[in-house]
Amino acid sequence: MPKRGQLRVLLGAAPGVGKTYTMLEDGRRLLGEGKDVVVGIVETHGRKVTAALADGIPEVPRLRVEHRGVTLEEMDLDAVLERRPSIALVDELAHTNAPGSRNEKRWQDVDELLAAGIDVISTLNIQHIESLNDVVEQITGVPQRETVPDSFLRGAEQIELVDLAPQALRDRLDGGFVYPAERIDAALSNYFRLGNLTALRELALIWLADEVDQALKGYRKDHGIDRTWEARERVVVALTGGAEGETLLRRGARIAARSAGGELVAVHITSQDGLRTGNPAALAQQRALVEQLNGTFHQVIGDDVPTSLVEFARSVNATQLVLGASRRGRLAGALTGAGIGATVVRESGDIDVHMVNHAAAGRRFTLPPLTGALTRKRRLLGLAVALIGGPVLTGLLSAFRSEDSITTDVLAYQLLVVIVALVGGIWPALFAAVLSGVTLDFLFIEPLYTIHIHQTHHLLSLVLYVIIASLVSVIVDRAARTTRAARRSAAESELIQTIAGSVLRGDNAIQALIDRTREAFQLPGVLLVRDGEVLASAGEPLPDGRHASIRVTDDTALELHGPDLAASEQRLLAVVAAQLTAAIEHEHLTQTARQIEPLAASDRVRGALLSALSHDLRRPIAAAAAAVGGLKTAGPRLAPADRAELLETADESLTSLATLVTDLLDVSRLQAEVLTIADIPTDPGETIAPALDELQLGPTDVTLALHHDSTLVRADPVLLQRVLVNLLTNAARFSPAGVPIHVSTSTFGDRLEIRIVDRGPGIPTEKRDDMFLPFQRLGDTDNTTGLGLGLALSRGFVEAMHGTLTPEDTPGGGLTMVISLPTTHSSQETP
């Protein structure tokens, strides 16, 4: 069986970066070195430079496949296998073969070539990687149906990035080096937007960097290399959930910033039962801080914190570890041995460890409280078991008493003590231990029926009973604390997640906070009150009005009706109060903005309208009045030519006046949202032609490139024609003499775009929002052009038809107005 060939993939962020060109260059170089190189298939896409570079490289004739009357050309896999070259150049790895081919995808053909021992050089764009398909669709809006599995791609021996700056790629596209001239404008404004290309380039760099990192990890694993390779600084910060976390993160960020490309990684170790020993609110704040510092946050499960921390650091190839100094004092350290920090330093090996001091370090040793975590009900139950079980056990042991049964008697009472400790904790267990010791001495140890300790080992037995009871009760108490902490942590996490989910889903954040607060703390009622007025509520308040109040803002308080909350619950309640404060402030700002916006817009329109009425409407009225007055004064003495001129002036002025009044009425209808729209299937070509006829624009004035085939849009034909007339009028006004306007159509997903391109001076980016405001001319001093309502009306009409009207730069200078409308098969949403 031949040795499997090697795959080399040239990866690009987008079409046109030069992948095929690079592949052919490498092919020519290898051919010059005496290698047996053939072209399996190369897609030149009409690029003359690429086609010229392919000349001189032997090419296997393509396979012609007939499909529904169309001849398709594919790579002839059998011919390449029969030829058996050393290296095959196969373009477009993600290509879908013609129906009826042996393999559905071209990458499967390549897999057969590799299995036959043939090395392959191929090309691929980042959008065709299967794991990135959905991400690319979110960026570009274009779904990719041709993909290559990551498992196949990661099996390549070499993956090289063919990179080109986004603006340089747009310049190549504008120069006609990527697509034919008729596709350039649509490509630049859709897939090849500068933002799209920048995001795709970053995605390609990140994917390739991850691939390199995985290859490095694989090499170290295969060669048994455990020590850290400082390819770049990775600083791991250990978070406990304490207040010192912010200090540690900022110190770690400064360490990472000292070296170019340093990476900050934060990690919190939790036990296998899912408990968090730290403050959930503090951890949430620290996680947000990590993101602000451009780091990553990880949560690792492991009971042995030092070992888990070191193992995680090695798994991410960390070079630095940042830990907080121990919060235990000297006495606690002496009693419990080496702390986490000392153990990490001992096990870290070649990873540098930074111990950072903080305010909570080395606090005083304090004894744990004697009050257990068990409920009063369980303590009473344990006492009942001791009171009832003791006499019952004594009766049973007395009935079967013998000279050799003393050992059994002792173990039986010891078992009773353990059971009482498991049920009721330390105090019932101590009571049972003393009671069983006295009973043993009184009934079962010579001399009988006396409570007198003659021998030392009898006293020792009683002490052992007490010690056993104490140890078991401590274990039970810790288990109860752990269970309670687990339940509380789960409840806190659920509360925070639910609140966040409610806000993200667009629910009422304030009501969600109130509802979840009542559920979490099991309160009869929770009210949010402002100056005696209830803003939000959950449940019912207590009849006696007894409640606790927490100040949220200066005039708003949160009323908690029910039993007083424990001190441990105040922590989470503070987080809820902070979230309520933010939600109230956000709602207040939103309401204020909503109230101010229409007032400000109305003031702007009113001022602009008064300005327009004072000049623009007066001009045609004055001209018409002067013409009519001249006709009336001169009477029959007026020459026919002068009479005709005055009548034409009056007619033009009155027509202009009618147009201005119509535009004003349309603006008022748009602002009042009472404009009637006929939403019907419409062919854009049938509205473009009447618009050109209305403006009397001929072939020398306009060039057309309609590429929407039979696609229809849902629009109002009359309003769409008015929009086109307005845009064409502006384009004709600003285009240089002798330079035609370009009108094109194209489809993009479920949208159809009409593009009106001029070669005029264009509009600065910072003024593009102003151009759509009513009564704006942006420096146009020609007062014969109207009130400046054309673009405002055009955008209003297009948006009323569920579309968009956006300005873009024309490559080479000028302005392009893009009308985007939904096609008849796209889903409609009422704005």
Higher per-residue pLDDT: 379 or 609: 379
Mean pLDDT confidence for 670-694 = 78
pLDDT band per the 50, 70, 90 thresholds, residue 271: low
Helix (H) or strand (E) holding 269: strand 263-270
The encoded tokens of residue 246 equal 């912010």
DSSP E strand boundaries for 316-375: 320-324, 352-356
**Distance set, CA 787 to CA 394, 605, 614, 648, 719 (Å):** 108, 12, 11, 22, 19
Residue 364 has pLDDT above 70, yes or no: no
Q: Please check the confidence at residue 153 and state whether its pLDDT lies above 60.
A: yes
Q: Quote the CA–CA distance of 448 and 442 in Å, as a whole number.
A: 6
- Alpha-carbon 225 to chain mean position: 36
Domains, the chain: 7-222 (3.40.50.300), 234-356 (3.40.50.620), 376-480 (no CATH), 618-672 (no CATH), 680-822 (3.30.565.10)
Rounded (10°) CA dihedral 139, 144, 148, 151: 50
Backbone angles phi, psi at 789, to 5 degrees: -100, -10
Tens of pLDDT, residue by residue over 740-790, are 999 999 887 788 999 999 988 888 877 777 677 654 544 443 444 444 556
CB 90 within 8 A of CB 69: no
H, E, C per residue of 117-141 = CCEEEEEEEHHHEHHHHHHHHHHHC
DSSP bridge partners of 124: 11
Asked whether the predicted pLDDT for residue 87 surpasses 90, the reply is: yes
79 has pLDDT over 90: yes
What phi and psi, each to the nearest 5 degrees, are found at residue 539?
75, -165
Of 679-693, 782-796, 807-821, the range with the lowest mean pLDDT is 782-796
Please state, as a whole number, how many other Cβ atoms lie within 10 Å of the Cβ of residue 480.
16
Q: Which range (162-166, 660-664, 817-821) has the least confidence?
A: 660-664
| Residue whose token pair is 């299937």 | 681
Q: Are strands 680-682 and 352-356 parallel, antiparallel or unpaired?
A: unpaired
For range 544-551, the mean pLDDT: 76
Cis omega (within 30 of 0) for bond into 447? yes
CB 247 within 8 A of CB 356: yes
User: For residues 222, 226, 229 and 233, what is the CA-based torsion angle, rounded to 10 degrees?
Assistant: 120
- Say whether pLDDT at 266 is over 80: yes
